[in-house]
Structure 1
Amino acid sequence: MKRISMFDAGIKNTVSIGNITLTDLPLIIKCDEDLRIVTAFIRGLTSKEKQNEVKCYELKYVTFGGTFSIRKDSGLIEESGLICIDIDEIENPPQLKKQIIAKCEFLLLAFISPRGNGLKLIFGRDMAFSYKENYQAYSKYLLDNFEISKDSIDQSCASISKACFLCHDADVYLNPIFKQGIEVEKIPFLHIQKPEELEENNEHTFEVNTFELSQFLFKPVVLNFEKRNAVENFIALCRVCIKHNGDFIEGNRHNWVLKLAVLCNSFGMDKNTAIRHFKCVFANHPAIALSKHPFDETGDLTRPFDDMYEKYLDDFETWNDRNEVFTTPCLPKEVFDNSPHFVKKLTGLFPDERERDVFFLGLLTLASTCFPLVQGVYDSRRYRANLFTFISAPAASGKGVLSWVSKMGDAIHENFLNEFKRDFAEYQALNEEQRKEQPKPELKRLFIAADNTSANMIADLSINQLFGIIYDNEADTLTKANKSEHGNFSNLLRKFFQHETIHYERKTNNQNIIIKEPACSILISGTPGQIDKMVDDVENGLVSRFIFYNYVSPVKWKDVFADGQDFHGIFKSSAVELLQLTNQFFYDFLSNPEREILFELTSDQKKKRSDWFEEKTKNLDELYGSDIRGSVMRLGLIQFRIAMVLSSIRTAENTLGQSIKERSKIVCTDGDFNASMSIVDVLLHHAVNVFNKLKKRGVVKRNGNPKDNYYESLPIKFNRAKAMEIASYSGIKEKTAENYLRQLAKDEKLKKPQHNHYEKGAA
């Protein structure tokens, strides 16, 4: 008998724990003690929202549609020939179950739903028709033959990968025909003479499940004007809504739906179809399913769509920019509104979103090297705030605003220069014997040249006692220096990021330099092609250490005389202000390198970030495999450092004019924590964008044998769909990939534990 996939408790667990047959289920539903306890607990709750919350977190579930590598339609491995109809909100489920059992000979399995007010009914499919057509046909059959209201049949379940939560039912029904050992291909089913017409437009599909919404945001999306009612367009419009109005979250649901309705109307999507798409995609969204406040389908969904479609009737189907491609998102406005005053004041000088983002990230990177006193414990190790940032965009896209960031460091550099001049003058005034006892003064430099040798970089950091920032507005400068005869400092840069000890020794001039915890930042910009030159391989550890901000701006003329502001004077003054803010943090450190101020997150903040990164890591791992894992993991450290930078600037503002000698701790405010999470949420999209481009351009290691390269790129365990996805990244055609898989299996490099599933290792 064909099988169905089973999943561990928690709707976010989308990878199957194994496959079972339909006849295995009654024993689980009757006898599983955990199911019995959780089911009783759910049914004892009086709040529907609380019931849904417990259900989504505590119950195992199955996909009656078939077996899946991951719970989504595209993850289907093999169809089961089964379909589950979900009936909700009925007065007497046991009585209705008895009626259906008595009258319906092709009912295969039936049990009462987790909340106790519905039924799960499993039937055989007519395989001549789609899963959705079968779902509608069975829905019509039930409506015609039993006292069931149309609203009781959950139409959001008409997806082959729809999850069905398991629960305890001592009277679970299994059709007696299974005692005869009948195969699923021979079980009775409802024959569909003619596909029932869906009420909605035929372009309505259920290809996208609720929890794929966040994953979909990481894929390139272009609106399809030929099929305006397609669900893919609805998802794309959700993406636009998220970009401009933030996430769909409790407290913002009603207004968010209003904005989405305006977009759907402008695009020309049928109103009722858009509403049905919403019900399908958002059915189990946490902001609805796990919310403490019920989502009123009429007041929060139907009425807003009715109002917006009526209000903007003349705007229907006026969205005609057929070349619009949704590029990487900008940072949300709230980040700047809630930033420390010093940051907010400067970012407000840039009305263009991209220029504002570029300047902001550049300023954070500069500031990340200006607070060497501040450290935080992350993954049991001490880290300073240092960031590596690469701004990538075509020429004339606004990257030039980074020159103002470099101006921000002028006052700090000038202060170091004046200090050097004073110390050197005092040194020169000493007699010869006194000079032998005093070290010769050396000039500290905030900015370290990108066009450099590894030896000089180490020397510069040693003079500074560990801190500095490598800055250049042309990434090629750093790349060429790294690949030169005396460069080769890629390993150094990786150590800078992790604060790993550098030991440099040259016998020719008796040099012996040890930098215990180098804390250097990097700020570079360039065109997208320059990323390829800097990175030889997507698995190169240097890639995952960078913040990438990658974008394409629309071609437009900029009125360079529009605002009439003189930025030279503004940033000269702001450079002095940055010096005043950071002066104590530099000099307290230089006078006592062992002193530190410890940065901390609150317990609640730690929990929130852990949950967020766990979900993102899982989503992206499922989409792109393990290659991207390092980038996502290090974004966790980057988020921690961004929060540290914002908190350090805010602390410097609050303590300006006061001594910080007694300060030993900085606790992150919720505002700075939330800002850092919003920033990293956007940066994750940019990281994925760069990752995909590097993959497509073949920026991967090659050993000369395409088959062996392909084998190396495959995970330990995978299915055919994953193998084909990886092949597409490498430019390998599907038939070629299939040949490789056959050859690798023949060579015993792969084994096949089941159909379309592979494992590395001898068979």
Structure 2
Amino acid sequence: MISHYPYRDESGDVQYRVVVDRTSKSKKTVFQQRYVDGEFVNGMIGVILLLFRLPELLAAIARGETVYICEGEKDVMRLVGLGLVATTNTGGAGKWLAEYAKYFDGAHVVIVGDIDEAGSLHVRQVTESLLEHGTLASLRVVDLTTLGRPLPPKGDVSDFLDAGGSIHEVTMAAEAAPELVVADPEGVEQPTIIEEKLPPLSARIVSTEDDDQDRTTLLMSCLVTLGSFMTTVFMCVAGRNLFPMLYFMAIGAAGTGKGLASVSRDLVYEIHRSKRDEYNRQVAAYETERDAHAAKKSKDKGPPPKPPARLSLIMPGNSTAPVILEAMGINLSLLIHETEADVMASMLKADYGDLSGVLRQGHTHEPVSFGRARLNEIIEVAIPRLALCITGTPGQVGPLFRDGENGLVSRFAFHVLTRRSKYKDQFNKDLWNVQSIGAQLAPRVASLYDALSKLAPLNIEVCFTRRQRDELRPMLEAFDVLAEDDGDTHTAVVRRNPILIARFATILTIARFIDVDGDDHLTSDALAFLESGQLRIEVQDDDFDTALSLAQYALQTARIVGRLLPATTPATLHRAHKGAEGWYSSLPPEVERKVAVEIGKSFGMSQRTVDRKLNEPALFIRTRSGFYSKTACGKVAT
């Protein structure tokens, strides 16, 4: 069978066609022909590549309908035949062009990719392109492998339908999929960052940027890395001594500035390097002893020397749970600093080792253990201390946390970055100051690490003043009441917010020990405090205010992140939409939009959800302005 797929420009004029020859059972042949003087000729020289069914796509977007992006023309025509609006790009997987994104301004988009590796990469390419270059109303991705139908290794949506799947399952999966468009939400503001109120170290870092969003990125990420080595500092929260190790993620599309978080890694890299150098010295000594032991005669040998344990502060994000546990058993604390959330996500979903469980338990230093049957050993860490600093795109949030109910998401502080409102000059020499500030301050941070390490086994307790506790109490009680009306995930976020406040305040307090200009690296007050033998220090009001602002900001961003997460399982997702089924069943054959919206309220449906349903061709046909008729076969799947 030979199929011809014409590609038309915005005016509807044919520019070229794609020819797919499937007559051979072993292999299909695909080629393009440009349209010249009324006929198709081979070759595409001078032809501008277009989206398939472009005029129909633009008309549907103008009407506010949901549009589907597939990987090939065959899938597009299959969906079109079932009442949806669909498109694809010439060449299929890996051939998406950035300029295609301009056509999707204001569009509700659903991507349905093939299930092989090329399809996954294509979905990611299209997603990132649309988020970076387009201005979408919404963007969701349907994962066909979650819909419970047997699919071939390189299956697509046509294979799903051939396997007994329905178009309703596809549209409901799209409805249930996490929203990937992170808009600038009304009422969510950047935390209040006043340089004069910050510790000198933090003030020096944020002073390199004048954009509030960038300053927040720098401050929050640097507090994470500073807290990662404070193993002799704690604050008592709800009867537990908590060390200041934070879990943090900066979320934004490409070009939003989340890369600034790399400065925070530079800030502590000298500590990591000193640990690595010490390990290398121990290895050299071990090798000398090992060789000497091997040269001895058998009767004089004795037990062989043991290799040294690997010392480090920074761990790679692709480490498995056993590797992380082993490293935590050797080092007093660890920092995972990862610029690609996908790397962490692949480890969290690995079959070997429950990394998610390790992270959940490690958040409040609960004992962690892991058995390795092959080696007949159990790795145990009595007091795990782990800090996380991760950056990623909105599309990477779902794979990282999997769902909102596994408890990990409520342990994170999130920073959500939106598109820049003004151009940032990439050739401005001041950018060098930003990228180099971490390395410049690293020796001073290392001096703080050395001073704190000498306190062991004693610890410094950081505590709030009575006035600060009195101010916190009614605020946290109010949060607790509000949390009762929220979902389980946000309730957990609210309940863990005091931990964030405490850890931010602790790190800010100890960061004041650093002198950013003096020869001693630490302030005279800090040196006097450390030499006095005191083990208790109160939070300054300025640091209390900053910590409170950051924690309140994290409460707001957690709501945004919640919209990026799927529910626990596809079955749970479908059960959550039983209200939609009842709403659909209760509607008359023809209904006015405002009536449908009012009926939807009684089923817990938002106006946006009702509008999306009304614009699904599989469910409704628009008969006239503001009126919709239910299709004969329409049914909202549960």
TM (norm. structure 2) is 0.57
Structure 1 Cα separation of the partners of residues 269 and 549 of structure 2: 30
CA deviations on 1:67-114 (whole Å, 9 max, x unpaired) are xxxxxxxxxxxxxxxxxxxxxxxxxxxxxxxxxxxxxxxxxxxxxxxx
Structure 2 Cα separation of the partners of residues 702 and 725 of structure 1: 20
Aligned to 1:338: 197
Mapping of residues 467-616 of structure 1, within 5 Å: 467-564=333-430, 566-567=432-433, 569-589=436-456, 592=457, 595-616=458-479
Cα deviation for residue 683 of structure 1 reads: 2.0
How many residues were matched structurally?
396
Change in CA separation of 1:599 and 1:324 when aligned onto 2, cut-off 3 Å? closer
Change in CA separation of 1:507 and 1:701 when aligned onto 2, cut-off 3 Å? closer
CA deviations on 1:467-492 (whole Å, 9 max, x unpaired) are 11111111111001211233541111
Secondary structure of the residue aligned to 1:444 is: coil
The one-letter amino acid paired with 1:691 is: G
Is the contact between residue 450 and residue 470 of structure 1 (CA under 8 Å) also seen in structure 2?
yes
Is the contact between residue 496 and residue 520 of structure 1 (CA under 8 Å) also seen in structure 2?
yes
Secondary structure of the residue aligned to 1:703 is: helix
Is the contact between residue 405 and residue 567 of structure 2 (CA under 8 Å) also seen in structure 1?
no
Is the contact between residue 494 and residue 545 of structure 1 (CA under 8 Å) also seen in structure 2?
yes
Aligned to 2:50: none
Cα deviation for residue 626 of structure 1 reads: 4.5
Cα deviation for residue 707 of structure 1 reads: 4.7
Equivalent of 2:328, from 461, 476, 480? 461
Cα deviation for residue 541 of structure 1 reads: 0.6
Structure 2 Cα separation of the partners of residues 702 and 400 of structure 1: 34
Cα deviation for residue 710 of structure 1 reads: 5.7
Structure 2 Cα separation of the partners of residues 562 and 417 of structure 1: 35
Structure 2 Cα separation of the partners of residues 324 and 648 of structure 1: 34
Aligned to 1:760: none
Equivalent of 1:378, from 225, 237, 240? 237
Cα deviation for residue 656 of structure 1 reads: 5.0
The one-letter amino acid paired with 1:454 is: A
CA deviations on 1:324-345 (whole Å, 9 max, x unpaired) are 97473112132x3311111111
Structure 1 Cα separation of the partners of residues 328 and 423 of structure 2: 42
Change in CA separation of 1:484 and 1:353 when aligned onto 2, cut-off 3 Å? same
Change in CA separation of 1:730 and 1:506 when aligned onto 2, cut-off 3 Å? farther
CA deviations on 1:368-412 (whole Å, 9 max, x unpaired) are 112100112111112111110010111100011112111112211
Structure 2 Cα separation of the partners of residues 526 and 664 of structure 1: 39
Cα deviation for residue 680 of structure 1 reads: 1.5
Is the contact between residue 703 and residue 709 of structure 1 (CA under 8 Å) also seen in structure 2?
no
Change in CA separation of 1:708 and 1:392 when aligned onto 2, cut-off 3 Å? closer
CA deviations on 1:97-140 (whole Å, 9 max, x unpaired) are xxxxxxxxxxxxxxxxxxxxxxxxxxxxxxxxxxxxxxxxxxxx
1:699 partnered with 2:567: yes
Q: Percent identity?
A: 21
Aligned to 1:349: 208
Structure 2 Cα separation of the partners of residues 722 and 601 of structure 1: 48
Change in CA separation of 1:725 and 1:541 when aligned onto 2, cut-off 3 Å? farther
Secondary structure of the residue aligned to 1:548 is: strand
TM (norm. structure 1) is 0.48
The one-letter amino acid paired with 1:512 is: I
1:640 partnered with 2:502: yes
Is the contact between residue 226 and residue 507 of structure 2 (CA under 8 Å) also seen in structure 1?
yes
Secondary structure of the residue aligned to 1:395 is: coil
Change in CA separation of 1:494 and 1:722 when aligned onto 2, cut-off 3 Å? farther
Structure 2 Cα separation of the partners of residues 390 and 729 of structure 1: 31
The one-letter amino acid paired with 2:189 is: P
Change in CA separation of 1:468 and 1:587 when aligned onto 2, cut-off 3 Å? farther
Is the contact between residue 398 and residue 564 of structure 2 (CA under 8 Å) also seen in structure 1?
no
Mapping of residues 417-436 of structure 1, within 5 Å: 417-430=276-289, 432=293, 436=303
The one-letter amino acid paired with 1:646 is: L
Unaligned runs of 5+ in 2: 1-182, 294-299, 515-521, 580-597, 615-638
Structure 1 Cα separation of the partners of residues 599 and 241 of structure 2: 42
Structure 2 Cα separation of the partners of residues 503 and 496 of structure 1: 11
Structure 2 Cα separation of the partners of residues 548 and 706 of structure 1: 28
Cα deviation for residue 538 of structure 1 reads: 1.8
Highest RCO, 1 vs 2 (Cα 8 Å, sep ≥ 6): 2
Structure 1 Cα separation of the partners of residues 288 and 252 of structure 2: 52
Change in CA separation of 1:648 and 1:442 when aligned onto 2, cut-off 3 Å? same
Aligned to 1:755: none
Is the contact between residue 328 and residue 689 of structure 1 (CA under 8 Å) also seen in structure 2?
no
Cα deviation for residue 365 of structure 1 reads: 0.6
CA deviations on 1:482-530 (whole Å, 9 max, x unpaired) are 1123354111110110211012232432433221110101110111121
Is the contact between residue 371 and residue 585 of structure 1 (CA under 8 Å) also seen in structure 2?
yes
Cα deviation for residue 661 of structure 1 reads: 7.8
Mapping of residues 407-418 of structure 1, within 5 Å: 407-418=266-277
Structure 2 Cα separation of the partners of residues 421 and 660 of structure 1: 32
Cα RMSD between the aligned structures?
Answer: 3.3
Mapping of residues 705-720 of structure 1, within 5 Å: 706-707=574-575
Structure 2 Cα separation of the partners of residues 452 and 725 of structure 1: 45
Unaligned runs of 5+ in 1: 1-322, 712-719, 737-763
Secondary structure of the residue aligned to 1:505 is: strand
The one-letter amino acid paired with 1:385 is: P
Secondary structure of the residue aligned to 2:319 is: coil
The one-letter amino acid paired with 1:575 is: A
Is the contact between residue 710 and residue 727 of structure 1 (CA under 8 Å) also seen in structure 2?
no
Structure 2 Cα separation of the partners of residues 325 and 500 of structure 1: 36
Mapping of residues 72-111 of structure 1, within 5 Å: none
Change in CA separation of 1:708 and 1:357 when aligned onto 2, cut-off 3 Å? closer
Change in CA separation of 1:689 and 1:425 when aligned onto 2, cut-off 3 Å? same
Equivalent of 1:650, from 503, 512, 528? 512
Cα deviation for residue 709 of structure 1 reads: 7.2
Deviates more, 1:355-364 or 1:403-412: 403-412
Structure 1 Cα separation of the partners of residues 371 and 378 of structure 2: 4
Is the contact between residue 567 and residue 573 of structure 2 (CA under 8 Å) also seen in structure 1?
no
Change in CA separation of 1:665 and 1:700 when aligned onto 2, cut-off 3 Å? same
